[in-house]
Amino acid sequence: MNTVYVGNLDPKVNRALLYELFVQVGPISYIKFPKEKTNDDDSSEHMNMKYAFIKFVNDDVDYACKIYDSKVSLYGKPLKVRRSNKQTEVSDFDVGAKLFVKNLDESISLSQLINIFNKFGKLLKKPEIFYLQSGTLRCAYVWFTTFKNSDEALHQLNGTTLANREIYVDYAYKDDKQRTAKHGDDVERLLDAERSKNFTLLNQKDL
């Protein structure tokens, strides 16, 4: 595999920073942060990010390990870079195509929500329904596998009426606490495009 494990990451390190650093080695197919839930936050999206996997288009792993392992620091922490033997299906990565759906009627069940959104493409996992404003505003997170599908869902559903309620659909914030940046930025879309391109090439090779 053309994948490196990058460890000893500060929680402030994000995809954009890793992309800017490691793309200097070679073209990148995807960057994945395995996520661990914290105990001090009810939100399933508030995670500690301690390590990442970076897959290169070409076999640039040894070179990346040579120039970055213990020689480059981010936020004062030296990176631990190793070749990874982690076998992961490329198509199942969370690329960041996460939508925030606001003002859902109580009559809309989880299965109905799935049926509504999977018309636009494959969902990465089951939507998450939750409440804001002290339990008075019913909302949901919906994850797609590609931005092509999430963009279409946003375009078609934002501002429409569902069970006599007008719903609001937008990309979710990356960090529910700081609320400074939303999913769907240029870096996430670039990685999604590279992932899709390389997944297609892998399928063609298998034909």
Per-residue pLDDT tens digits of the chain, which is 207 residues long:
688 989 889 989 998 999 999 999 999 988 888 764 444 433 333 344 578 899 888 888 999 999 999 899 999 999 999 888 654 444 456 778 999 999 999 999 999 999 999 999 999 899 999 999 888 899 999 999 899 999 999 999 999 999 999 999 999 998 766 778 899 988 888 877 776 665 444 344 433
* Angstrom distance (rounded) from CA 34 to CA 137: 30
Please tell me the predicted confidence (pLDDT) of residue 151: 97
89 φ/ψ angles, rounded to the nearest 5 degrees:
-70, 125
User: Quick one: which of 88, 176, 104 has its CA closest to 136?
Assistant: 104
pLDDT at position 197: 64
Q: What percent of the chain has pLDDT over 90?
A: 50
Determine the Cα–Cα distance for residues 155 and 65; give it in Å rounded to an integer.
Answer: 42
- Give the residue range(s) of CATH 3.30.70.330 domains in the chain: 3-37+45-89, 91-206
Q: Which fold has domain 3-37+45-89?
A: Alpha-Beta Plaits (3.30.70)
Percentages of the chain per state (helix, strand, coil), in multiples of 5: 30, 25, 45
Q: How far apart are CA 156 and CA 69, in angstroms?
A: 46
Residue 40: burial class (beta carbons within 10 Å; 0-12, 13-18, 19+): exposed
Q: State residue 91's pLDDT score.
A: 44
CATH 2.40.50.140 at 91-206, yes or no: no
Report CA Rg, the chain: 19
Q: Are 117 and 142 in contact (CB under 8 A)?
A: yes
The SS3 call for residue 5 is strand
What is the per-residue pLDDT across 37-80, written as a single tens digit (0 to 9) for each? 444 433 333 344 578 899 888 888 999 999 999 899 999 999 99
